[in-house]
Structure 1
Amino acid sequence: MGKLIVVSNRVGPLKDTGKAGGLAVALVDVLRERGGVWFGWSGQVSEEGTFGEMKRQKSRNVELATVDMNKADYEEFYAGYANRTLWPILHYRLDLAEFDRPYEQGYRRVNERFATRLKPLIEPGDVVWVHDYHFFTLAGQLRAMGVECRIGFFLHIPFPSPDIITALPRHTALVRSMLAYDVIGFQSNRDRNHFIEYLIQEAGGERVGEDRVRAFGREVVVKAFPIGIDAEGFSQFPKSPEGRRQSQRIKAILGDRAQIVGVDRVDYSKGIPHRFRAFERLLEDYPENRGRVSLLQVAPPSRSELDAYVDIQRELEHLAGQINGRFADVDWTPIRFIMRGFPRKALAGLYRSSRIALVTPLRDGMNLVAKEYVAAQDPEDPGVLVLSRFAGAAEELNESVIVNPYDTEEVAGSLQMALQMPLDERKSRYEAMFNKIVTNDAKRWAESFLSYLSG
């Protein structure tokens, strides 16, 4: 068996620094088991860009290999096509998508350049696993260069219905290039079915088995592989010194009050303004919660160079100020809005000390916050997960309280139900969800995908 080569826009770290996401930890584990290379962008912009020296860093049998981008690559490929065109379309936001031909040309150029730099690292018998929307066309470029090894692709974000994706100029060329992969994985059955519907409706494709589709002269595996977390590992984090310290701080602030927590990057797909309005509705419709329940929203900024993100940040600050001005008392602030991240162990303590997690994206491939919240709970006194029906996690975690994030009245009513939920019901819901996330953890996700990819 050859080595595993993982490709993603950003790579590493090879060591769990406490801030590394669950995906990074899972990929490092599977790379260590098989030995391999993690290839991607260095995060640096330089004059030489992809033509510059490849940076290489090795730890035991795993190597990080990264290249820079130049300014044009960054603006056209990353800030442009990836984040101004593909991201909004894949999250059903046609109104925010920008269709700029230089962006698309930059996207294809960078995919070609990455393929050129990657090819010398590939040896006979190797397996290549490509991640996310930055590299839809990478396998097509590698095949054109004569690479014949098995190449798989996993999309971490949603794939929309055909009527949305067909709004993308030259969508057929993009999807055709995806068929150069041998295995194409999605977070949920809904996303997988949308992709298959596209192939059948737009490309004359046909299903040739439960998980196999033929289109554009290729037969590929198309399957849902719901991503997991290291649930057992995360469940120990609240007991760590950092986790306990965070829990104690929160309890000292709250006293006998209840806390609702939301943890998201500032992004229009996360539905945070809708969440603030639903919490306002809770205080309006159920006034007994005034002074008794608060919302803590942790929202580190992302993609701050894009106008849409500046706008949503301003909207959130305005909404929080408006709601606090309306309902706050001298000893109680309804919404605490923190625009920075926390290390994972501290975050686990924050989850455990929150009676409810309000996870209400308007669209999400999976949403690992939902799984982390469940993992962090005290089995003897667990909190309640209130989860958007439009998160991929809702397919698995159907014992959560499922809501329509657009319906503020429904979300407010569900929050009230969760606040009043008796202990035995909270425990039975928690136990069912915890068993699922332990069984379908990050290790199993990676092994399942790679078992299909290895053929």
Structure 2
Amino acid sequence: MSGDNEFVVVANRLPVDAIVDEHGGTTWTESPGGLVAALSPVLSARRGCWVGWPGLIDAAPAPFHTDSGILVHPVPLTADDHERFYEGFSNATLWPLYHDLIVTPTYHRDWWQSYRDVNYRFATEVDRVAAPGATVWVQDYQLQLVPGILRQLRPDLTIGFFLHIPFPGPDLFRQLPWREEVVRGLLGADLIGFHLVSNAENFLSLVQQVSGPKGSHTGQPDSLKVTGSASVRTTTASITASDGREVAVAAYPISIDPTSLGEADDKEVARRRAELGNPECILLGVDRLDYTKGILQRLEAFEELLEAGALDPNEVVFVQVATPSRERIEHYRTARRQVEEAVGRINGRFAKIGRPVVHYLHRSLPKRLLRHYYQAADVMVVTPFKDGMNLVAKEYVACHPDGSGALVLSEFAGAADELLQANLCNPFDIESLKRALLQAVRGLEHDPETMRSRMRAMHEQVLTFDVDAWANASLRDLDEARR
């Protein structure tokens, strides 16, 4: 029996967080985030709902409306689901595979079975809530089988899929024992979206190589043709699926909602600098504590610059905010241990009593406070080994409309395709990291006008192509995909 929601967003997590009070009662607050902000008016206008896991084990509330009017439809997960589907297949198999094998993926058949089961559960919930002919937009790597399952359950639906992490080259993806099943799952969509043209090209190349029975997918293009602007890109490429549908493949770089960061507050910024001892230069890193983010390598590069005397510990501090992430997975525990050992070693070598040279926070910060640190920082350091986009880089740029500050950015972050005026580096090469850090610090000191011009160009890019532009382009093309 179909529901009455004409637009359905499907994601692993609902856009809400549970708050449990001292009496055991649970209340729900809307999660901050650009995707929620961009889709809230769409969900309201189209009589839509958001399907996802509420973040609780073995428990899920009845559907309810958030403060901004979003109808959320919870999908329950058991402890076994969380261990095998989420921590296992999603984050110990797919995550490292899609991030170019920074660590070795683990392939367990029971994890795969759980992934299939949970994807089927999500798809059946969408079947329940979606109106006849509704539009469904599936989000990210945890739910790649949902489009294909929905296509079988509800051929009347218009189905989009968007991947928020990188998509690997076909030679890497073909390691996956269940590669044909994942490809078939994705091809259930009418439109498959990626951040970058290179990701879309990887997928198109893969489909040519991994297509199930011979002749089941035809008409794959030899290359990806790109039309539109340099920052909100669409493509004419399509794949003819086995049921005769044309599946469009497109690239849409996601961005931020600049208004979500709040207003500038010079007094608060001055307070943050004073807390850090009013140094000449503040370097800032803000990341999930993930082995893909290159946190350890940037700290080691900073340490070598201090050791060589290129940076003066009396004049510079490094602030690293490392949000806890997936702490039950061994690779994440190892990453935390290595980062914290580096912080201790650097402070042991170069700090003074009461004046650490590295300030380290292993917790998340409220958006308002994070903005103050963004504004206070002279150099933002974003050095992932691989990243689908990296919105921290864009948030920092959005907080510097006057052109102050500098951005050190990994060439392997998706944002590097747009923020061309950043100090780009190769995070696998510590000398490249050191050069980029030094160029940013010295550029602010010796060539402030050039640095200001570069930052202003990036600021204009981020404000022009914000999260609304991304959502509008994606949903426009999804509306057209079935016509």
Same fold (TM over 0.5): yes
Which residue in the other structure is 1:68 paired with? 76
Whether 2:249 is the aligned partner of 1:226: answer no
Say if 1:126 and 1:273 are closer, same or farther in 2 by CA, change over 3 A: same
1:196-275 → structure 2 map (5 Å cutoff): 196-203=204-211, 206-207=220-221, 210-217=235-242, 218-234=245-261, 236-239=262-265, 244-245=267-268, 247-275=270-298
- The one-letter amino acid paired with 1:224 is A
Which residue in the other structure is 2:231 paired with? none
- The one-letter amino acid paired with 2:252 is F
Which residue in the other structure is 1:300 paired with? 323
1:247 Cα deviation after fit = 4.5
Structure 2 unmatched ranges of 5 or more: 18-27, 212-216, 226-234
Match of 1:402 among 424, 428, 441: 424
> Is 271-280 or 31-40 further displaced after alignment?
31-40
1:275-314 → structure 2 map (5 Å cutoff): 275-314=298-337
Q: Distance in 2 between matches of 1:133 and 1:328?
A: 42
Whether 2:160 is the aligned partner of 1:152: answer yes
Match of 2:150 among 121, 134, 142: 142
1:249 Cα deviation after fit = 2.6
Match of 1:415 among 430, 434, 437: 437
Whether 2:43 is the aligned partner of 1:31: answer yes
Say if 1:302 and 1:288 are closer, same or farther in 2 by CA, change over 3 A: closer
Say if 1:257 and 1:60 are closer, same or farther in 2 by CA, change over 3 A: closer
8 Å CA contact retained: 1:179, 1:215: no
1:302 Cα deviation after fit = 0.6
Q: Distance in 2 between matches of 1:393 and 1:140?
A: 30
Structure 1 unmatched ranges of 5 or more: none
Q: Distance in 2 between matches of 1:138 and 1:332?
A: 52
8 Å CA contact retained: 1:89, 1:164: yes
- The one-letter amino acid paired with 1:222 is V
Whether 2:51 is the aligned partner of 1:21: answer no
Which residue in the other structure is 1:188 paired with? 196
8 Å CA contact retained: 2:378, 2:406: yes
Say if 1:165 and 1:259 are closer, same or farther in 2 by CA, change over 3 A: same
1:65-214 → structure 2 map (5 Å cutoff): 65-93=73-101, 95-203=103-211, 206-207=220-221, 210-214=235-239
Match of 1:6 among 1, 6, 9: 9
Whether 2:399 is the aligned partner of 1:372: answer no
1:326-345 → structure 2 map (5 Å cutoff): 326-330=349-353, 332-345=355-368
1:116-149 Cα shifts (integer Å, max 9, x gaps): 1221211123211110001100011112213421
- Greater percentage in helix: 1
1:156 Cα deviation after fit = 0.5
The one of the two structures with greater contact order (alpha-carbon pairs below 8 A, sep at least 6) is: 1
8 Å CA contact retained: 1:162, 1:194: yes
1:37 Cα deviation after fit = 0.3
SS in 1 for 2:54: strand
Superposition TM-score, scaled by structure 1 size: 0.92
Which residue in the other structure is 1:42 paired with? 54
Say if 1:368 and 1:95 are closer, same or farther in 2 by CA, change over 3 A: closer
8 Å CA contact retained: 2:286, 2:321: yes
Which residue in the other structure is 1:363 paired with? 386
- The one-letter amino acid paired with 2:50 is W
Whether 2:339 is the aligned partner of 1:316: answer yes
1:51-105 Cα shifts (integer Å, max 9, x gaps): x774333557531111211222222111111111111111112643110000000
1:150 Cα deviation after fit = 0.7
Q: Distance in 2 between matches of 1:247 and 1:180?
A: 53
Q: Distance in 2 between matches of 1:33 and 1:370?
A: 31
Q: Distance in 2 between matches of 1:19 and 1:249?
A: 25
Q: Distance in 2 between matches of 1:39 and 1:147?
A: 19
Say if 1:94 and 1:396 are closer, same or farther in 2 by CA, change over 3 A: closer
8 Å CA contact retained: 1:278, 1:411: yes
8 Å CA contact retained: 1:268, 1:309: yes
8 Å CA contact retained: 2:151, 2:157: no
1:246 Cα deviation after fit = 5.2
Q: Distance in 1 between matches of 2:371 and 2:104?
A: 34
1:254 Cα deviation after fit = 3.0
Q: Distance in 2 between matches of 1:70 and 1:111?
A: 14
1:250-299 Cα shifts (integer Å, max 9, x gaps): 33423242110000010011111111111112213344423211111000
Q: Distance in 1 between matches of 2:332 and 2:103?
A: 14
Q: Distance in 2 between matches of 1:426 and 1:32?
A: 42
- The one-letter amino acid paired with 1:452 is D
Q: Distance in 2 between matches of 1:318 and 1:375?
A: 32
1:15-43 Cα shifts (integer Å, max 9, x gaps): x9796122222222432343310111121
- The one-letter amino acid paired with 1:189 is V
8 Å CA contact retained: 2:293, 2:384: yes
The sequence identity of aligned pairs, in percent, is 37
- The one-letter amino acid paired with 2:36 is A
- The one-letter amino acid paired with 1:409 is E
- The one-letter amino acid paired with 2:451 is R
